[in-house]
Structure 1
């Protein structure tokens, strides 16, 4: 009985407790039960998951210090997720806990929430959705707090988070307006003030209002209680000062970060050091102290993860103090660290590429530029700029190779017989020495081949003084003796046992035989190549060959001058190439443009005397030339220079649009000859190839493109022609497709080229008839087919039968005078019409039908 009574009492107490904790009863027990359960159970676990997810976001985010840092470390993902999916399970867990708190502990009684923790639950819900990058649902959660809980102590936080979400949704103007109103109307607590002003700064940064952003980030850095935020905000403040060109103020901001030292993450401390180093004044600063600082940073063991950046900065220091050799060493040390900062790696490769380019090592420069592109985002602007630079470098490598090779050959051509013999005798002697050294190394390897033994296998040798003990004297150890002999012969070779044996004069070429070099020569069947006469016989003697070498060399110099001037803006290099060209008695057609280019280059270099020299030379010796007219009246020439190649090209291009293809071919031939070896010549040739293709079809077009690609292989037009030609090969298919399978059709009316007046009249009347019949989807064009044939084409039919009914259709028009078509149209699909035009295969199409 007692046990039963106790059970009944306990059950009653539990029932009363549960009833008193009901979400529908507004009493002290219920309110506090649900509030405590919400705060210390559900929301606690939710915030734990939220913080874990935020830590994962922070750890996976890589700051790019080459640009303004964002206020918040969060990488926006471009991946698309379904509504039920999440980017991070921790944020999903935090959201679940927030929803659970609202659903199970919410006490909405008579339209009023009695649980004081529910506003916190909605705040957690919004934050979880925000970090999960579901910004619209997050905005709904924050707005619900503002609507439902206007007296909540979390109201200011909700307003700040709402504007953070607006910034993520690119509603920067709305965020600025709301945050400014919040700062004016509310007396925010210290951390809330830091959060509001920091996000206001981010909105100003997004809208390019850097002055306003700087004002707000100062307030945020001063009021935040979190040391890592203080460090980050001061770095951003320094970056903003740098953007506004206040270097001293920027350095003061970076100093504040450095003073925080171990209170902030090491990456912020090192970032401040590096950013401050970028601002060093190499003209007035203390270079010795700066160098010592960089060395201290390098030697600090804690900075090992940041050595790539430190080495780069040291390289910058050496480069700015004209110590190029050490700069190259440290740039390469930075690369060997395998930096995760792709921008740093790309900048390093670019600097090294530019260095080797300036030192005329173009192949090496090209390799560095290739590496630069692998560290840039494909199709970004820096990538495209570097790609063009690399492609232009191909031209430089080609023409520099031609110029260097031909110069070397022509130098030999101009030598006397005695000079040639002396030159090649020295060369062949050096080859013999190299072969002797090579043979010596091979002999040493073969002699020492049997001396290598396993060092771990030491034979047991008795000690003479103690037969029971192992030997300790090294001469009694054959392994040690063999190793000593090997080392001796590798260093000294084979030496006789004489006094002063170390003298180099007593060295027997490292071998007992003095004829090893000759033996090597004979064994390699290369005796002929080691005789001076072999090379002398290769020097060209034919005047035609020599003239060709001169012509190619001069053209290479001219192209190099243009490339350095127009594409690389390397005016001094360009000037050198043009001057070398004029010193080598070039062809007449290269002299005038070279002098004019030298005039322009000296103008850019502010070389007044040389500029005046070339100007006077052109006006005096070439008074009727286009260049002379430009020099005499530059302003008028710029406005009305109808003889300029650019103007003539534009006019010829208009003829192409007007389908005057024969005239385009004629003009292009004329202007290509007039502007031979000028950059615009390949443009005219490509234009001519296009006109030929439109007139004569596939085969003629491909041949014309191949000619352009071959003759102007390294110009952009030549590359474009090669690309087009390759595309034509891939598209080479003359087979007509089934008309029924198409969705677009045309009606073709065929005219002879001699019927030009009839063509225009027919096109006009056909267009009017289509307009009056209210067929808005149909259009009319006049297309050239070949040199003797024109098409009038009606486009826009959706059925193969429609073109066949045009004759009857227009004859039945009642609103106007009937338009009678005497010619029968040819119905064709759009795909087959394209083949007809490309391959000029109208007859084949008609025979097929």
Structure 2
């Protein structure tokens, strides 16, 4: 009996389930079965996945507190997502659950949805797509709710999310219009009101309506149920007040964030304190109170994760109070916190660089600017600003390094033998002390390595599967010894690029370096253990020949001269410029540097208001160098302009015209004269480049290569020197081949008919070209022209252009009429454009003619 009863009950239950599972019957049981199943199965799991995905987004997102924060914490990526792809598996799962709820539990009967959970499913679907940054599909889901479920209790949420999506699609005006209509038509309360007004504030921010955005954030802050959101909205209010210049209102908003204390994320609390410090009135504010607050923030153990920001703000506070040494200490503390905020690190480096720049420590400033750029986005606006600063320091760092190095060497040269011995004995003692210290460090590292190995196998646990054998203690398996080795390498060799022959000193060290320290380190690294601690080893390396000493002295003097000009013209550091030029004149400089140095000193005296010194300098130039250009300028300041006919610029322009007219020999001769006359002035590299080009056009590849190499080395830090380096690296290798190209292999379909003449007969060349031009006009079916090219100092070419086939070019005389043939009797040869270029580059005309191609 019992078995029969159970069977009947089972049949009835199965029938009930089958009946209730139908989505086509509008029955109480059917509606509630599908509603409950959808809500507590698919939608429950879907919302769990959505929340987990949002948490992952929040954890991965870092707010940039240097700019106004966005209302919603969400990083929008630029990458295009293809159909079927997703950035986050949790959102994919949430979307799948929403889709499952719609497909399996929707009860669309007679055009009406009978399951009250389906609108919730579409809302989940839209949210999942929104957070997965598929905004168009998300918009479709929200619009479907508005179209299909106008009576839904989720209708207001759907409207708000639709406008959030519109804002992500840059439809800000449309979002503002729709949200204003929603707030006017509906009496929103609580979180719905907070969501609507906060997203409306974002739309106003995007359209630069800051005042209105602040008003909407005030409503959202009062309406939201989340203290996390309240703290964020209040903080953004403070930022916006700061943007408008209302510091008092900003401080009130930040105080409201501070009042929330532990109810809101601590980052908002700390940053609100720091923003208030930024608004501090350094003239009328209570500095003692501000100092106590900063000290309290620094010493609070809960604030350790934010010490990078706190140290930076303390440094800025001291900097504004003219406590530079304290500021430097705190900026360095901020850098040592290993902050993840790269912009903060860049800011610290930039400020330290500016402080060194203001103190005229340009080499140190350059190092800080290098570090600043390494923490900025490549080619961003802040990066380009710092790069311009850094580029302006290139020359001064280069010449300061030369001056420092050569001054040190000359000081050693001028020491007596006992003084040298005493100096290097002290130097060797320091080396021994450092070596002993490094030895102790290495022994400590080895001990730690051994301890780490023991600890890794303690308790009988062997090495992990796939891990190296710990008992072997291989160097690269221990992070302590690896770090020690890296530091030692950089200390000895510097930060060198991984490449062949990295050890050669010519490879240099990346970044800005101290040349003196670098050369000393290289010397120590190349010495044996016995030599390293022998004073005589170092004494033997001091230059002793007169030629070496003269070269060092000349390089030092030229560096002094360049530094004087750079400090005067580029940085307006007239005191520094004066000292450099005065030191130069005391150092027995070459004759070519004396007059321009005295003239620049005269100008500096005038700028500094030192009129007596200026008068003395002027009288000395006029009396000792009466025929010089500088004396002419001093005697006739009103008549002589920067663009007079004897100025370097005017002479360069005239010389360039000669180059355009192919008068290369004269260009070379005059360039050499002007280079000597204006030696040390900024225009000299231009003359050198023009001379190199003329040498190449007149004498060929080898002469051009040597001249470019000289320019690249001698004027490495000028624009022309860098251009020469680029030519040497990228262009010259392409021009090096002297092999002629067969006509069938030539990429050119142009041919030239070439007539040879001696340069000693310019009248004959001009007369022939005039006749040729007349003859070419009579040739039918071809549009031909002529030109004259210098080949070398003895030969010039007259060339016919416009022929596209070799056969026609080689029978050029057949194109002429009988009368014109009588006028053109000079022999010619035919060459492709490609081979003509090779002939001109390598001056190998004889080799080409010997190929019997003509």
TM-score by length of structure 2 reads 0.70
Q: Which residue of 2 aligns with 1:704?
A: 707
**Distance of aligned partners of 1:528 and 1:736 in 2 relative to their CA distance in 1, 3 Å threshold:** closer
Alignment of 1:335-414 (within 5 A): 335-356=335-356, 364-387=364-387, 389-390=389-390, 392-404=392-404
Match of 2:476 in 1: none
Distance 1:357 1:805, change over 3 A: same
Kept in 2: contact 1:618–1:627 (CA 8 A): no
Aligned with 1:678 (options 678, 681, 692): 681
Superposition map of 1:619-698 within 5 A: 632=638, 675-690=678-693, 692-693=695-696, 697-698=700-701
2:72 is the alignment partner of 1:35: no
How much does 1:116 deviate? Answer: 3.2
Larger mean Cα displacement after TM superposition, 721-730 or 657-666: 657-666
Question: 2:106·2:113 contact (CA, 8 Å) conserved in 1?
Answer: yes
1:833–1:115 distance in 2 versus 1, CA, 3 Å: farther
Q: Secondary structure at the match of 1:328?
A: helix
Offset at residue 199 of structure 1 (A): 3.4
Aligned equivalents of 2:225 and 2:171: distance in 1? 28
- Please give the residue correspondences for 1:318-337 in structure 2 after superposition, counting only pairs within 5 Å: 318-337=318-337
Does structure 2 conserve the Cα–Cα contact (< 8 Å) formed by 1:412 and 1:539?
Answer: no
Residue 519 of structure 2: aligned partner = none
Contact 1:763 1:782 in 2 (8 A): no
TM-score normalised over the length of structure 1: 0.70
Encode CA deviations 1:739-766: one digit per residue, 9 max, x unaligned. Answer: 7788x64313344584655787899999
The one of 576, 588, 594 aligned to 1:587 = 594
SS at 1:749 equivalent: strand
Residue 746 of structure 1: which of 740, 744, 749 is its match? 749
Residues 806/734 of structure 1: CA separation in 2 closer, same or farther (3 Å cut): closer
Deviations 1:382-431 (A, max 9, x none): 44444454455453244224445666788999x9xxxx88xx87786676
Distance 1:43 1:433, change over 3 A: closer
| 1:45 Cα offset (Å) | 1.5
Q: Structure 1 residues 628, 294: CA separation in 2 closer, same or farther (over 3 Å shift)? A: same
Task: Give unpaired runs (5+ residues) of structure 1.
Answer: 447-453, 455-520, 771-778, 796-800, 813-820
8 Å Cα contact 1:339-1:345 kept in structure 2: yes
1:723 aligns with 2:726: yes
Q: Is the 8 A contact 2:399 2:559 kept in 1?
A: yes
Relative distance call for 1:615 and 1:216 in structure 2 (3 A) is: farther
Q: Give how far 1:215 is off.
A: 4.6
- Cα pair 2:24 2:109 within 8 Å, conserved: yes
Q: Deviations over 1:264-302 (max 9, x none)?
A: 111221222222223333333222222211111111111
- Asked if structure 2 preserves the Cα contact closer than 8 Å seen for 1:747 and 1:825, the reply is no
SS across alignment from 2:128 = helix
RMSD of equivalent CA atoms: 5.4
User: Residue in 2 aligned with 1:301?
Assistant: 301
User: Which sections of structure 2, spanning at least 5 residues, go unmatched?
Assistant: 440-446, 448-529, 623-627, 757-764, 816-823
Alignment correspondent of 2:198? 198
Distance apart, 1:303 and its partner CA:
0.9
For 1:746, what is the secondary structure of its paired residue? coil
* CA separation of 1:93 and 1:748: change in aligned 2, threshold 3 A: same
Deviations 1:15-54 (A, max 9, x none): 3553344322334433333333333322221111111111
Aligned to 2:145: 145
Correspondence list, 1:155-234, <5 A? 155-176=155-176, 178-179=178-179, 182-183=182-183, 187-208=187-208, 210-234=210-234
Q: Which residue of 1 aligns with 2:312?
A: 312
Spell out the pairing of 1:436-835 with structure 2 (5 A cutoff).
Answer: 526=535, 552-564=555-567, 567-568=570-571, 573-574=576-577, 576-577=579-580, 587-596=594-603, 602=607, 632=638, 675-690=678-693, 692-693=695-696, 697-728=700-731, 730-731=733-734, 732-734=736-738, 745-752=748-755, 754=765, 786=791, 788-789=796-797
Further displaced range: 380-389 or 87-96 = 380-389
Match of 2:818 in 1: none
In 1, the alpha carbon distance for the partners of 2:563 and 2:843 equals 42
Deviation at 1:65, TM superposition (A): 1.7
Residue 267 of structure 2 is aligned to residue 260 of structure 1: no
What is the alpha-carbon distance in structure 2 between the residues aligned to residue 848 and residue 141 of structure 1?
80
For residue 67 of structure 1, give the secondary structure of its aligned residue in structure 2.
coil
1:809-847 Cα distance to aligned partner (Å, 9 max, x none): xx99xxxxxxxx9999979698x8876775567886784
Higher mean Cα deviation, 426-435 or 684-693?
426-435
CA displacement, residues 414-456 of structure 1 (integer Å, 9 cap, x when unaligned): x9xxxx88xx87786676678789999999999xxxxxxx9xx
The reply on whether 1:44 has 2:35 as its aligned counterpart is: no
Instruction: Determine helix, strand or coil for the equivalent of 1:284.
Output: coil
Partner of 2:111: 111
CA contact (8 A) 1:749 1:824 kept: no
Q: Distance in 1 between matches of 2:637 and 2:847?
A: 58
Equivalent pair of 2:810/2:830 in contact (CA under 8 Å): no
Relative to structure 1, is the Cα distance of residues 840 and 162 closer, same or farther in structure 2, using a 3 angstrom cutoff? farther
Cα-to-partner distance string for 1:342-374 (whole Å, 9 max, x where unaligned): 122222233334445555666555444443333
Residue 66 of structure 1 and its aligned partner are, at CA, apart by 2.1
Q: How many Å separate the matches in 2 of 1:152 and 1:445?
A: 75
2:668, 2:694 within 8 Å by CA — same for their partners in 1?
yes
